[in-house]
């Protein structure tokens, strides 16, 4: 939760180059499939623990909303 609201991870597939940085750093949350990042388990994402997730992606394809 962020400020009392639930948060959602999003991947912009127009920006994702499938570099694998997210899956390398957070293998319980992301994996690479068909040359793109996929969120494999939303329940493993905890905002306070993982708020740096968007900075892992060099293409800025991952956002937290």
Give the model's pLDDT for residue 7: 83
Verdict on whether the full-model pTM lies above 0.75: yes
Beta strands in the chain (DSSP E): 9-11, 30-33, 36-39, 62-64
How far is the C-alpha of 32 from the C-alpha of 34, rounded, in Å? 7
Q: Which of 47, 24, 43, 29 is nearest to 11 (CA)?
A: 29
How far is the C-alpha of 16 from the C-alpha of 37, rounded, in Å? 7
How far is the C-alpha of 3 from the C-alpha of 19, rounded, in Å? 32
Give the model's pLDDT for residue 6: 75
pLDDT in tens, 25-53: 999 999 999 999 999 999 999 988 999 99
């Amino acid at each position: 939760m962020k400020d009392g609201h639930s948060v959602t991870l999003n991947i912009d597939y127009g920006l994702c180059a499938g570099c694998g940085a997210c899956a390398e750093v957070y293998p319980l949350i992301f994996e690479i499939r068909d040359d793109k990042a996929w969120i494999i388990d939303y329940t493993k994402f905890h905002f306070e623990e993982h708020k740096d997730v968007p900075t892992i992606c060099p293409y800025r394809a991952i956002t937290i909303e």
